[in-house]
Amino acid sequence: MRVLSPGERLELSRRSLLGGAALLAGTPRLASAAAPTAINGVVIGKSGWLFATWDVLHPVVPRLVTNVTSIMNEAIGILKSKGIATAVTLLPARSRLYGEFLPDGLVLKPEVVARYSQALRELRAPGTLVPDLATALADARRAQPQVPLFFKADTHWMPAGAEAAALAFAREVIAKAGLPASTQPGTQFGTPVEMEHVNDLARLLPAPQRDQFPLQTYMFRPPVSAQDSLTEEDKADVAVVGNSYMQPKYGFSPMLSYQLQRPVSLMWDVNQVGPYQMLLRYLASDMFRQQRPKLIVWNIHEMDLENEPSLTEIWGQNSMTAQSFISEVRKRVGA
């Protein structure tokens, strides 16, 4: 598996850091009048669970979701016109999957519950492959309730969650994408090793409270490169382009490669870069120029479904108008 990354970096989401300010100016999505207390952008849940304010206290505007899916659909259509298929990894919110650990009185409103299915419906409308990872992860949790899929005090999924998502994703790619058989092998795995996580949400809390949330350890299966790994890298015709959920230590791309039995390349960065800039970076990269993929696996988090590319308060220097984004996609693929 070929990896281009900025290194293993802690992601402190812009929305987490700003949770107590502008991003909470809208109406909280609560069923009760009293909202839970947010400390430095963190809401303390039950049984040692922490949630970012942008995950549990942010209102939902369905019209904005449609704006984002329309922009994505236009970009995907441009790629398709140049013979490049796209599949979308739509990552579900932690609160959707572990809602029983939200504070008492915090209940998701109907438009929040419907957001994921709305995005699935709109992104699938042109025929794009968008596996339902929310259902896949919920099914995995029911099948093995003793196996945690997400960290309790961190915004990310555990390798078990990443692998469950990759398995479901690979099944749909195999069934629907029509990829030809690969002449190169997929990733193999070595002996599992124990690793310790950083707990990005706990680190936002004041020291006395931070100490109540110990670091979680987890088992990780390291990928093992094939003997002809250099040739394998050059022949990758599936590329994963995404945020820090996709970083190697969680294992989504290696498991996808293993299941597809073909090389899978990877380009990722922290979530503040955004799905729009990440796609443009990939399309401008040597990775893309040297081997145009048959399939791009484009990653967006459910919590970004209302965040258009022009939002400087979210994307900072990576923000751009929707028109600029689409124009750059056209330019970089020669459309």
Q: What is the pLDDT of residues 268-299, one digit of tens each?
A: 999 999 999 999 999 999 999 999 999 999 99
Q: Quick one: three-class SS letters along the chain?
A: CCEECCCCCCCCCHHHHCCCCHHHCCCCCCCCCCCCCEECCEEECCCCCEEEHHHHCCCCCHHHHHHHHHHHHHHHHHHHHCCCEEEEEEECCHHHHCHHHCCCCCCCCHHHHCHHHHHHHHHHCCCCECCCHHHHHHHHHHHCCCCCCECCCCCCECHHHHHHHHHHHHHHHHHHCCCCCCCCCCCEECCCEEEECCCCCHHHCCHHHHCCCCCCEEEECCEECCCCHHHHHHCCCEEEEECHHHCHHHCHHHHHHHHHCCCEEEEECCHHHHHHHHHHHHHCCHHHHHCCCCEEEEEEEHHHCCCCCCCHHHHHHHCCCHHHHHHHHHHHHCC
* Rounded mean pLDDT, 235-264: 95
Window from 11-25, 212-226, 249-263, 318-332 with minimum mean pLDDT: 11-25
Looking at per-residue confidence, does 198 or 79 come out higher? 79
Q: What is the pLDDT of residues 108-128, one digit of tens each?
A: 788 888 999 999 999 999 999
* Res 332: pLDDT: 97
* Res 198: pLDDT: 87
Q: What is the pLDDT of residues 201-224, one digit of tens each?
A: 999 999 989 989 999 899 999 998
* Res 110: pLDDT: 86
Q: What average pLDDT is seen over the chain?
A: 87
Distance CA 330, CA 320 (A): 15
* Rounded mean pLDDT, 243-267: 96
Window from 8-17, 59-68, 137-146, 172-181 with minimum mean pLDDT: 8-17
* Res 61: pLDDT: 93
